[in-house]
A and B are shown apart, each in its own frame.
Chain A
């Protein structure tokens, strides 16, 4: 399927201007989301995954700001004509982006414990979302909320709807969160570490739920995680991020079976395997993520890379370029440097 993507992020740069200096949380990320597909964004903590998600919704908090790039959301009207809106250009507090937030693009957050306000019932918070985007009465919105809760597998939803978030377990709360995100039939669901705070059995249930809902609604999903297992289970396409940049992207099979970028290879090596020799040491990636104020020159991964080429990787910055038909990587193992050294 070669139709135009529903969401295209191009050269997105989101910087945080702090007193200690500028943090380039997202520094030129590009990727596309196809309709009805799941894109997995993977990377270590601090690589800019969550900031990318918040940038798409334009809810980056000060001192952060999108300083460059495009976020194109494509819409198809009734006559089959498609139009695009650049989210990066919208007023972040304006009506247009607010209609998109929660309406066309919904977010499921990583903290099911704290992402609901403890002062209102879950019903209140779901009904509010529905009424923000749809012109229906409170009673109708309530019925719809109960239906949604039933759909995400909340037992006795007509009673649960009047409970407070702290009366629910973490797993149930994350289900409610998903119900709330789905309440306005979004075309894109961004799930930011949706299972990180949950125990393993609950994780599996939530992932099953997400996949089942996606099959039913044909919406696109962007799933953000540091867990390669989640990616393998959920994603059609994978984006590997490191220090605010996309270092590799491609279909999930290619990423897992022929990873090109040394960082992707290292990530895959560090997954525990049941076939491994007992008591053998789990391979790790040498070093740790550099401090955001101290970005390495050239390729940001070169200090930790075991295939780095002196005089090349530490001087020139690689670009994300195609390798093969559908895979892309930004690494000089596959491309010659084509630009002047970075200052």
Chain B
């Protein structure tokens, strides 16, 4: 395993190809992420943004190219090596993915209990501190089913940062939140990144929020990284495709219609009915 040339680089994807059945999701994808940055990954639904996170986390393997995290080739790791790497990563899932049979406290305590030999008294201190970070120390004894969507995500965030990861991955952290919770999660992501010296990748549809907190915005389209810009560059770019994304235009380079034969043909051509 060779180390990356630049020690400031945390994540390095080179020529990554990923196929799901016959469908090619990525082909020749290159991406470099430096330590300490907040990166927002945007793109149309189904373009493979979540797949990108799963490649970095080693839940999926690239069919070609390399995925390196902290200089380690993720695809070449065995299960043990992968688990060792994952102890230094945190991931926030779309719906939080809290364990529904455990209380808020036990959810946050889970990584400590499973991955460390710390005594219960110390775990209690650590859990309460993490819950304090997300402002939910008072909800320690509540069950996840009693939490609102925003609160559940904050608890999941506390659980994800439990082992002080070097890399945080967020899968759609803003989806389905009210404006207050949304802003709160956004600021938390930035604060955790800067306070704990983390590197963060946010996969999101929410361009406004990501422009506020991200250092760089990456637009994934057409199976590779289409654009890699700072928020300021993104606001002023003239690239029609990126513009459509930024402005949320109805039709443009991204067509409104799913590919189909002409309407006339489909409606009136009785010779070859497709349905």
Q: Do A and B come together as binding partners?
A: no
**Interface, chain B (partner A; CB < 8 A):** none
**Interface, chain A (partner B; CB < 8 A):** none
